[in-house]
Structure 1
């Protein structure tokens, strides 16, 4: 009987099974309760195979969380790049304050104790979030809406850095309205216009 579709290589299927199992365990019990043995038991993939792909559990968690975040936070495309940028930042922080997204703080803490996971956090979580901002900023720059010489990397730090700091420190509200206000302040500045 002919196949309806190609089969994925076994290693790719195992990789996906591990990420799916890790996502489920994160949602159920949080990051601290996850072990390689639990991931292996849930995914049906041996610990030996898991260690061929990742150096530690936090590396798996970083990749799984990055994939989950990409699926949870859509990229707006209204044709108004500044509005899209504000909406994306607000949606991203709204996700981080949701029950699933709240694992972000746990992930940062785990990466601090397992430094071999940092490259995975960088590749699978951090860089995709930064890459998502770049098209918005580039379109705004092409439309003459941005200050000359400010690149997307700098804009990302200025726009998202204060939001992540507030998220981690817990010193202030991160309601959608408050997030939008902070992003607007970052975009338009805190000082009164010259001449006032």
Structure 2
């Protein structure tokens, strides 16, 4: 999966890698400083030293720059490994704890802003779904498949429904803010979901 592609590649001469990195760095610094709405292309240009005209040749909007910068930072950081403890319940606990820790971090707050913008911008929506959510979904689907194979989870349950039951509450808490995003909360969600999903 390439992180060098913007949300929509524009035609024209190839981008300067140094200028691209400068734009990405500027956006990654401005997002936590200002927030997604307050960050402007003017500020990105000023911070990076790359002209607005050049930025707009490569990205269609500041939101496209923000998504690229955010996802590049996410994948540069170490990804959560597959716990594979031998227990589906414990694997789900560790995976959901990792998600809740991410959601409660500074990066999680930026992610929440991008999720909000994605409701109005189909390109941002597709980028987040395809480049971030899909990879995390693959990890938890592997946990599900192992649990079914070991007889821990009900094979007749639709995996997508089961995983939504397990991990959906974290997203709901992120956007609604009605409950904590803690290890204890993650364990409680998994225990409750397993009551209906396990043998």
Correspondence list, 1:47-66, <5 A? 47-66=52-71
Could you tell me how far 1:37 is from its partner in structure 2? Answer: 2.5
The two structures, once aligned, show a CA RMSD in angstroms of: 2.9
Whether contact under 8 Å (1:17, 1:43) holds in the other structure is: yes
> d(CA) in 1 for partners of 2:156 and 2:27?
41
Whether contact under 8 Å (1:63, 1:124) holds in the other structure is: no
Which residue matches 1:21?
A: 26
Structure 1: give runs of 5+ residues left out of the alignment.
Answer: 1-8
Whether contact under 8 Å (1:25, 1:34) holds in the other structure is: yes
Q: CA 1:59–1:182 in 2, change beyond 3 Å: closer, same or farther?
A: same
Which residue matches 1:105?
A: 112
Tell me the matched-pair count.
184
Could you tell me how far 1:181 is from its partner in structure 2? Answer: 0.8
> d(CA) in 2 for partners of 1:93 and 1:153?
19
Q: CA 1:78–1:133 in 2, change beyond 3 Å: closer, same or farther?
A: closer
Query: Per the alignment, in what secondary structure is the counterpart of residue 106 of structure 2?
Result: coil
Decide which moves more: 104-113 or 22-31.
Answer: 104-113
Residue 189 in structure 1 maps to residue 192 in structure 2: no
Which residue matches 1:3?
A: none
TM-score w.r.t. length of structure 2: 0.75
Structure 2: give runs of 5+ residues left out of the alignment.
Answer: 1-13
Query: Per the alignment, in what secondary structure is the counterpart of residue 181 of structure 1?
Result: helix
> d(CA) in 1 for partners of 2:161 and 2:59?
31
Which residue matches 2:47?
A: 42
Within the candidate set 82, 86, 89, 1:80 is matched to 86
TM-score w.r.t. length of structure 1: 0.76
